[in-house]
Copies of this chain bind each other. A is one copy, B any other.
Amino acid sequence: MVGIDDVARRAGVSTATVSRALSGRGHVATATRERVEEAAAELGYVVSASASSLATGRMRNIGVVVPFLNRWFYTSVLEGAQRRLMQYGYDLTLYNLSGSSNERSTVFETFLLRQRVDAVIAVSLELSAEEVDSLHALGKPLVGVGGPIRGVPTVSIDDVGVTRLATEHLLSLGHTVIGHIGGDVDAEMSFHMPTNRRLGWEDALRDAGVEPRPELYSPAVFTMQSGYVAAKQMLGDPRLRPTAVVVASDEMAIGVILAARDMGLDVPRDLSVVGIDDHELAPFFGLTTVAQFPEQQGERAVELLMRELDQSRDDEPANLQLPFELIVRSSTSRPRPEREQRG
């Protein structure tokens, strides 16, 4: 294994100089630096991560904790985070909580505290005060993606605003009987998100002078299947049927579209559907949706972290609100004229 001394010898300098030259810290004459770099390249020298970490106390590695892996949102965040981290020269070690039920405590109590990561990004996780504290006690910065966490900087989108925008789109098309199929709070780990999305729907309706009808809200978990089932139920009675629905995720929304088809309803003629996410399948189903950009969220989370890692954490926890955007496709249109609709 070629070590720093080999490089030093070959370049005719001390190991200290090699270290400085290669890391860019400290003053090194240009000529010397080049000689060192050349020697390192010729020998195929790569610094030993563990030796470097032991000496500096920094691992150049950050931990990302996700509640699931098999979900578009999480993998997208992961993808963005990974890309940005790589640019910073950092590694990403992955912790997935979806395994056994006690995996969560294992991750927090053993793995994350094991000095293997400089910081952690928690995606859609409601962290307990102890979890946050134990990390902070070790001097490990922490940032969250999705949903605020007490005392922790976070990047997220305005979940109220998202469904509000979706609902307003529908209202602007002339719909007034608008349903909402949303997250079932108990079934998901991402705490306030489902509730906030419902609030956005309610707020938009009220602002338009329409009182949201409880029977037009239907909870569901974030899967296509669950969206399908919820839609079947909500659309069952033609007299109570909404002319449009705001659905809390694209996957659910696709389930809704499929349900509508199976019931002989034409989308968007009989039912307008708007989802949230801009999932990769959304274009295929012509789904109008409010796009969020999870990859970007992952990237921003990394940037936030890097800032905390660099500077002494002066500024207080920022809550970064990321943009979202309505994308109109073919699943929404004006409602059918009343008389025709009844027919």
Contacts and interface: CB of A to CB of B under 8 A. Distances in A.
A80 to B, nearest CB: 9
A115 to B, nearest CB: 5
A256 to B, nearest CB: 13
B61 A86 contact: no
A70 B280 contact: yes
A49 B98 CA distance: 25
Q: How many copies does the complex hold?
A: 2
B70 A72 contact: yes
A288 B280 CA distance: 24
A114 B90 CA distance: 11
A96 B82 contact: yes
Interface stretch (A50-58, A149-157, A191-199, A326-334): A50-58
Most chain B CB neighbours (cut-off 10 Å) among A47, A86, A113? A86
Contacts of A93: 61, 91-94
Contacts of A50: 49-51, 53-54, 59, 115
Interface residues of A, number: 47
A83 B99 contact: yes
Interface string A59-97: 101000000011010011011001100100001111110
Nearest to A100: B83
B225 A284 contact: yes
Interface string A110-149: 1101111000000000000000000000000000000000
A250 B48 CA distance: 44
A318 interface: no
Contacts of A113: 46
A173 interface: no
A114 B46 CA distance: 6
A103 interface: yes
A106 interface: yes
A227 B256 CA distance: 21
B111 A99 contact: no
Contacts of A165: none
Given A61-B116, A116-B91, A98 B79 contact: yes
A322 B72 CA distance: 27
B70 A76 contact: yes
B94 A49 contact: no
Given A82-B95, A93-B94, 11 more contacts: A46-B113, A48-B54, A48-B115, A54-B54, A70-B76, A82-B99, A92-B93, A92-B94, A225-B283, A228-B284, A255-B284
29 contacts: A46-B110, A47-B114, A47-B115, A48-B54, A48-B115, A49-B53, A49-B115, A50-B50, A50-B51, A50-B53, A50-B59, A69-B75, A70-B72, A70-B76, A70-B79, A75-B75, A79-B96, A79-B98, A79-B99, A82-B94, A82-B95, A82-B96, A83-B103, A86-B99, A86-B106, A86-B111, A92-B93, A93-B93, A93-B94
